[in-house]
Amino acid sequence: MVIKKQPEVVGWREWVGLPALGISAIKAKVDTGARTSALHAYYVTPFEKDGKPWVRFGLHPLQKDSLTCIECEAPVKDVRMVTDSGGHKEERVVIDTTLLINGMTFSMEVTLTDRENMRFRMLLGRSALKQGFLVDSGKSFLLGGNKNHPPIASM
């Protein structure tokens, strides 16, 4: 007999980690309308490493804080045209990274875009959520994290 694991319930916003990028915690808006997750990058610089395309980017992980900066590097998975919720098309770099949520880790795709003027530095899209999550749109931070005293991003 196969026992099926119950899906994890998440709120419309949650604290998540991106350990492969050195980010211990970032507040994400859970967005079932977005297929791919998106991460704030205030600059994106392509380069080559061992003959393969890579990207270096800067991130301000905390809302309303442009002084805390994390510089990240990752292999480029793809470059795609993405349409945002306002209908604007933008070419974005796509990387694979590791999502840490409620003690579980998953591989996921994330696009890099400037979200400086957005309320959330990250959108967690439905492709990442299909790994066993349900969204309760009336709740926030069901998996922990304190919205008044956010966890510190690792440097």
pLDDT confidence of residue 4:
59
Q: How far apart are CA 83 and CA 38, in angstroms?
A: 12
Tell me the residue range of the domain where 117 lies. Answer: 8-136
Residues 6+ apart with CB under 8 A from 91: 79, 80, 81, 82
CA distance 28 to 17: 9
| CATH code, 94 | 2.40.70.10
What pLDDT is recorded for position 132? 85
DSSP, collapsed to helix, strand or coil, labels residue 111 as strand
**Domain presence at residue 3:** no
Furthest-apart CA atoms within the chain: distance in Å: 54
What is the number of domains present in the chain?
A: 1
149 part of a folded domain: no
pTM: 0.86
pLDDT in tens, the chain (155 residues): 666 578 889 999 999 999 999 998 899 999 988 899 999 999 999 999 999 999 999 998 888 888 888 999 999 999 999 887 778 899 999 999 999 988 889 899 999 999 888 889 999 999 998 888 899 999 999 987 655 444 444 43
Confidence at residue 154, expressed as pLDDT on a 0 to 100 scale: 45
Asked whether residue 143 is domain-assigned, the answer is no
Q: Report if residue 152 sits inside a domain.
A: no
Q: Is residue 147 part of a domain?
A: no
Q: Identify whether 76 is part of a domain.
A: yes
Q: Is residue 110 included in any domain, yes or no?
A: yes
